[in-house]
Amino acid sequence: MVHMGTTHDDIVSMPRGGPDASWLDRRLQTDRLEYLDRDDVDDRKRKVIESLDRTGRRRFMGNYEMCARAVLAEVTDIASPKILELGCGLGGLSRKLLELHPSAQVTATDVDPAFVTAVAAGDLGSHPRATVREMDATAIDAADGYYDLAVFALSLHHLQPEQAAKVFAEGTRVADKLLVIDLRRWRAPLQLGLLAFTLPLAGLVPPLHDAVISSLRAYSPSALRAIARYADPAVTVEFRTQPRGATAVVAARPR
């Protein structure tokens, strides 16, 4: 990667609110891990995974459908788009993409071998337009420009800024466009108010515990621009409007 404008020290020390974050915003973040990122809390981790999957599968615009429609809006001019999903988890988004698009070719990937094994053993493993692979979003095993679109949904906040920059670098290398959908970072006063209501219950409800940490680790648009700039100064970013507290950014680089 070529680093111009945003240095290694800048990106390592950058707050989740971005280089221009306020004093309060800089303090409303945490390095504490979610249950989803830990291997020593199996029961709580399972409850979080099940909760996320239920939320994603909601019949009326659940997260899977919301993200799938955002993905397909980026490839409307391609008859049979080749789509790479990074961090597919249990495969809900890839499954929804295949359901909504009759000719899309989807590669569902995750760095966690347990997720990959579970997805490959299900319907996606035998779907004629799907491929399931173990893959790291920060080191993608694919040729330059192989995919029309790469998507990383609701996962970027799990990564430190330097790792997130690798996703931008790799995603824009292997695909014409990278779509990152993640939690919106709320303005500091609103975030403070939300914490006052949710923190007392966070220790009792595993999904709420992870939701609180996710909100504190979410990146602002300013931070996402800095991350893309660090990945490659040639990468351009465009923000899309998304409902229900999400941020969506499309990154691309000249070929």
Query: What local confidence, expressed as pLDDT, does residue 5 receive?
Result: 65
Q: What six digits make up the tokens of 92? A: 């809900």
Task: Report CA-CA distances (Å) from 251 to 130, 134, 173, 182, 238.
Answer: 24, 23, 10, 14, 7
Q: What six digits make up the tokens of 65? A: 């459908």
Which residues does 124 contact at the CB level (< 8 Å), separation at least 6?
91, 94, 95, 98, 108, 130, 132
Q: What six digits make up the tokens of 96? A: 């929804």
Residue in the structure block whose two tokens are 């997720």 = 115
Q: What six digits make up the tokens of 9? A: 């020290």
Instruction: Walk along the chain (255 residues) and give the pLDDT tens digit of each residue.
Output: 444 467 898 899 999 999 999 999 999 999 999 999 999 999 998 999 989 888 888 765 589 999 999 999 999 999 999 999 999 999 999 999 999 999 999 999 999 999 999 999 999 999 999 999 999 999 999 999 999 999 999 999 999 999 999 999 999 999 999 999 999 999 999 999 999 999 999 999 999 999 999 999 999 999 999 999 999 999 999 999 866 779 999 999 987
Complete domains list, the chain, with CATH: 8-252 (3.40.50.150)
Residues in the chain: 255
Query: What local confidence, expressed as pLDDT, does residue 241 receive?
Result: 80
Which residues does 145 contact at the CB level (< 8 Å), separation at least 6?
173, 174, 175, 176, 255
Helices 42-56 and 63-72: angle between axes, nearest 10 degrees: 60
For every residue of 28-96, DSSP letters joined together read: S---PPPGGG-SS-HHHHHHHHHHHHHHHT-TTT-HHHHHHHHHHTTSTT-SS-EEEEES-TTSHHHHH
